[in-house]
Amino acid sequence: MMHSTRTNASMLCINITPKFVRIRRGVALSTHSSSLRNCQILSSNAERGTKTQRLLLSGNQKLVIDSSTSDDASMGSHFSRARRHFSSPFARVSDKRRHALVTSASSNNNNKITSAKSGLNSTSGGESRLRAINNPSQQREQQGLADALAAGKSASPPGSSRGQEEKEMIDQTYELNGNNFAEQTIATPSDGPIDVLHASSKQTKSWQAVRRAVTTGPVQSNALIGGTPLIDVTSVLSLNPSKVKIYAKCEYMNPSGSIKDRIASYILQAAIDAGDLKEGMTVVAATSGNTGSAIAAACAIRGFDYIVITNKKCSIEKIDSMRAYGGTVIVAKSGVAADDPEHYQNIENTMVAENPGKYFGVNQYDNLNNALAYEATLGPEIIAQTKGLITHFVAGSSTGGTLTGTSRYLKAVNPEIKSVLADPRGSVLWDNFVNDVPENELIVGKWEIEGVGKDSIPGVLSWDVVDGAQRGDDASSFYTCRKVARDLGVLVGGSAGLNLHACAVLSGKIDNGVIVTVLPDSGVKYLSKIFNDDWMNEKGFTGKEKSPEDGEIYWRPGANDPCENQKSSRMFPINACSLQHDTRKQCNDDELNPREQTEAELRFLEETAARMVEYHRQSVKIGEEPVVLMNTPESIRAMFSEAGVGMTFEHQEPAWSEQQLRDAVTTILQTSVRSSSPLFLNQLYAGVDPVALAGEWVSAALNSNVHTFEVAPSLTEIEKSCLEKVARCWLKTNDGVETPEHDGLFVPGGSLSILYSILLARDVADSSIRKAGMDRNNKLVAFCSENAHYSYKKSAIVTGLGEENLVAVKCLPNGAMDPGALRAAIASAIAAGKTPFYVGTTAGTTVLGAFDPFSEIFDVVDEFQNANGKSQRIWTHIDGAWGGGAMLSKEHNHLMDGAERSDSFSWNPHKMLGMPLQCSVFVCKHAGSLSKANGAKAEYLFQPDKNNSGADLGDRTIQCGRKADAVKLWLAWKLRGDEGFAKCIDRSFHLAKFVQLEVENSDGKFVLVQPAQCSNVGFWYVPPRLRPFNRTTATEEDWAELGYVAPKLKNAMQKAGDAMIGFQPIASMGYVNFFRLVLPNPRHITEMDLRAMLDRMDTYGQEF
């Protein structure tokens, strides 16, 4: 028994915060023991690092452990990592289903497979194998190269020979990998293998981008997993080469030399995240060969010790490769029964069961993460590289992961894709699948092909996704390996030969199609076997191969004839039933777009959606990407032309390729402002609530119109529910009290809300205007504050009221409407013979964020209404587009005191809550008023005798078609609740106050315009030459000089890609250009970010 050791190891401690990864130096103290419970390690050579022959004694059994170059202390491994977790958008398993699948996995080694959890796992011990954090500048340089290549740009100067070489490499890589239809978001972390579930967002790129980076410069070794080329073997193997193509994925190009690198990385990382693989544990894996090497490599990267258990059937080359990474290899007997204790799988199970907490068992045959790895990586790659044209997938099976996971993804994309098992004679999988022989009655034969076939049914394998099978044999498989080497110059292993032979057989059984298979490993691992004439002769394989023409494909019932011409799959089969004996002239049943084109377009949609998720992920992190790249209209058009996607339409516009569409999207993103950046502080909207964005996508994908209930039933009712909720909040309705009478609509923007309010007020004042129209003798007059939104003026123009009949009321010093000035303005209008009919107020003015004093203003309105016995109604409206959300906050709802007295109210959730543009609500107190003022009763839409006619919303609007904007608000509100929205609003107000305090305590660098009243704050930046700046003593020239500063400073920040902050003057209040910093979506910005931004502004402005 080895003694326990206690050691101090210097290590990097990584503290994960919501925004940054901060690294600090520290010392970790841990206990390490390499003892084995109920086992004993005997060494014939005690020298460290020497080759030793070891015996593992367990009870009365003695097993030979193959020679390995490792020391006892290295059994304790040490690592320090932090991972962030995100799910591949193309893994076709919902979170709930994935959790159910993973948690339901059973294994003899008590491995608790759970859904991945992000977290920190750090270890230390004897011979520490800590992996240092890579140089950030090197990472940025490499990532910049990958980004440039992904955007189709050269890293070298234009016109240079190196630049031309890079372009040629990029072109070749595109040709090799095919168009990126299903861009798979995977990780290329600086430390650890590629992992689709765990990576920092900065280093998440499509696998094509990674492969392009590989061809043009250095990358981390872990970036080599996945993204393998797809080669065309049609000319050598297809029996119908003109109509049936055969492509093969070169999985032997993964870093450990096989397809198993995919699952090794995935399984270990999932175990780390779930807490099943902890500090000081040793990874134990039973393997027929390739998984052992992959696990060894993954352990080496992560700093774990490992024990790999294989059997004597495994080639010496494979055994040597397992040993090469510094761990232990056990070579067990081959040909023993599946329930024999000396079966290599049972040895793993026993070791783990008897040593809980010491060993982590990979249990690849029953670990459902095995299949999930292929579903998340291999499947999407195949779809992308074949442009979605794959019709058949062929693969052998040992654990079942490749066949199950890949088929699951392929069928999720296109259910018509057929999956075919390639199984060697002697394996029990054939009889179980084809002949339905129960597992306990299966008879195991013998076969020499390594890595495929099985003596029992693995738990990972799912026959539900398998459509057919081809039974191969050793001789034919090995002959195919040699044929491919001879005719194509590709050296592959026996399992690849089995797969390729099955593809050849299949090619003769179908009329047309695209067959894809995998080449799991390289023939280099079998030089002593498959490519050794003596061994082939000794085994009797020479000359015993079978022709593919003589092979057969078994199809599961219902899965035969997979490539027959597909008839219409519509709900009403056009040519099969009612029209079967139709005597009329035959009509065409062809759709405009073939199925392949439709699938390609849908994959482009899927890719773009995933791309935009990643774009948002990068945008919300400060420092990840610039907020804006400075451009002019001319430079933007030039960039589109340079990308080969000219913006101008030609006289006869040709159709673009999918790659041009992809380039167009790339160019759009490159030339657009990242409004989701926390430092986009320029407008009253910013960022986007991800759940609300999902709602936007749902409504856009439904492509429905909420004018009638019959075409948008649920969307109509969702809108009504949102209107009711907003009305209750605005009218301050208590719990348990029935919702007050109300009317409303979601409208395209706050400006339209104001227009609706004036239309309703005009209809109340003079309903004859609907028919007779406005005339120059009309005496109606409306009022709003001089700081109100300019859409009041536009609405006056559109409604025919006229600018002259919209009175701008003077404001108080804080920018809010002055009730006394309103009283005087109304009195003056009446004295002039005009009829006041409308007063528009504001909750949160656009520039200063002022809230009008609603109670006092409505008291003024009531004075005039009471004076004439309310014979002349004055409609009151609150434009709460910006500040109306204060009604949801217990801390700030006092700003809305008296708001419930108004006739109508508008609110833009896209401003302070991050709903995607546009999301604007208009509500009023008077049910039916919208239809009365705007209704046209279109007979082709609003028939009174149709089903549910009373549920239609369309006649309330001035439009015909209208988007379902309520869905995004409804989804987000359901997720976050009232409290979640209130927190968001309170944080916006708080951060504005924080900026105010920073400005006030800036030692004269900044001067405050007005105290923050909403979540915006105005200030001047004072350059050193104008300091100190005293507002009370400053001359007119001083103010003029100060007014020039904001445009210059904003220009400097835009050129640097830094924060975007708007500026403007307020002439009515005598304010020259000042910065208006707004905080409409505060989810991802902090006080520290804002302080740092103000400091940078001072740095930029030193010379102004």
**Closest to 347 in 3D by CA, of 301, 292, 396, 402:** 292
pLDDT at 157: 41
Local confidence band at 780 (pLDDT 50, 70, 90 cut-offs): very high
Tokens 């990472």 belong to which residue? Answer: 139
Average pLDDT over residues 606-619: 86
pLDDT at 65: 33
Mean of all residue pLDDT scores within the chain: 79
pLDDT at 212: 59
Whether the predicted pLDDT of 425 surpasses 80:
yes
Residue 869 C-alpha from the chain's centroid: 61
pLDDT at 338: 78
State the amino acid at position 206 in one-letter form: S
Angle between the N-to-C axes of helices 819-831 and 854-867, in degrees from 0 to 180, rounded to the nearest 10:
30
Distance between CA atoms of residues 362 and 260, nearest Å: 12
Q: How would DSSP label each residue in 904-951? A: EEEE-HHHHS-PPS--EEEEESSTTHHHHHH----TTT--TTSTTGGG
CB 626: neighbour CB atoms within 10 A? 16
pLDDT per residue as tens digits for the range 374-410: 998 999 999 989 988 999 999 999 889 999 999 999 9
Taking a C-beta distance cutoff of 8 angstroms, is the pair 1050, 627 a contact?
Answer: no
β-strand 244-249 against 230-232: which pairing, if any? antiparallel
Whether the predicted pLDDT of 724 surpasses 70:
yes
CB 650: neighbour CB atoms within 10 A? 7
CB 660: neighbour CB atoms within 10 A? 15
Flag the least confident range among 3-17, 765-779, 1021-1035. 3-17
Taking a C-beta distance cutoff of 8 angstroms, is the pair 1021, 1098 a contact?
Answer: yes
Whether the predicted pLDDT of 821 surpasses 60:
yes
Q: Which two three-digit tokens encode residue 749? A: 């923007």
Whether the predicted pLDDT of 77 surpasses 70:
no
Element spanning 389, H or E: none
Higher pLDDT: 240 or 95? It is: 240
**Closest to 328 in 3D by CA, of 312, 305, 301, 294:** 305
Instruction: Please tell me the number of Cα atoms within 13 Å of 845 on its side-chain side.
Output: 28
Whether the predicted pLDDT of 849 surpasses 80:
yes
138-142, 253-257, 941-945, 995-999, range with greatest mean pLDDT: 995-999
Q: What percent of the chain has pLDDT over 90?
A: 53
Taking a C-beta distance cutoff of 8 angstroms, is the pair 876, 901 a contact?
Answer: yes
Distance between CA atoms of residues 480 and 493, nearest Å: 10
Flag the least confident range among 151-155, 479-483, 768-772. 151-155
Taking a C-beta distance cutoff of 8 angstroms, is the pair 321, 308 a contact?
Answer: no
pLDDT at 143: 43
pLDDT at 191: 33
Whether the predicted pLDDT of 743 surpasses 90:
yes
Average pLDDT over residues 527-545: 93
- Evaluate the CA torsion angle 479, 480, 482, 483 in order and state its sign: positive
Whether the predicted pLDDT of 150 surpasses 50:
no
> pTM for this structure?
0.58
Average pLDDT over residues 904-919: 94
Distance between CA atoms of residues 75 and 41, nearest Å: 12
Whether the predicted pLDDT of 160 surpasses 90:
no
pLDDT per residue as tens digits for the range 672-707: 998 888 888 888 888 889 999 999 999 999 998 888
Higher pLDDT: 286 or 175? It is: 286
Local confidence band at 8 (pLDDT 50, 70, 90 cut-offs): very low
* Phi, psi angles (nearest 5°) of residue 259: -65, -20
Provide the annotated active-site residues: 260
Local confidence band at 431 (pLDDT 50, 70, 90 cut-offs): very high
Higher pLDDT: 117 or 285? It is: 285
Residues in contact with 574: Cβ distance below 8 Å, sequence separation at least 6, in sequence order = 568, 589
Length of the chain: 1104
Q: 3-state class of 354 per DSSP?
A: helix
Average pLDDT over residues 623-651: 88
Flag the least confident range among 267-281, 510-524, 614-628, 1048-1062. 614-628
Average pLDDT over residues 1001-1006: 96
Flag the least confident range among 479-483, 496-500, 599-603, 809-813. 599-603
Taking a C-beta distance cutoff of 8 angstroms, is the pair 1020, 1064 a contact?
Answer: no
Burial annotation 824-834 (CB, 10 A radius, 16+ → b, else e) = ebbeebbeeeb
Local confidence band at 789 (pLDDT 50, 70, 90 cut-offs): very high
Q: What percent of the chain has pLDDT over 70?
A: 78
Taking a C-beta distance cutoff of 8 angstroms, is the pair 223, 214 a contact?
Answer: yes
Average pLDDT over residues 267-283: 91
**Closest to 262 in 3D by CA, of 370, 159, 358:** 370
DSSP-assigned letter for residue 196: T
Local confidence band at 631 (pLDDT 50, 70, 90 cut-offs): confident
Whether the predicted pLDDT of 477 surpasses 50:
yes
pLDDT at 1012: 95
**Closest to 809 in 3D by CA, of 820, 797, 822, 792:** 822
pLDDT per residue as tens digits for the range 866-909: 876 656 789 999 999 999 999 999 999 999 999 999 999 999 99
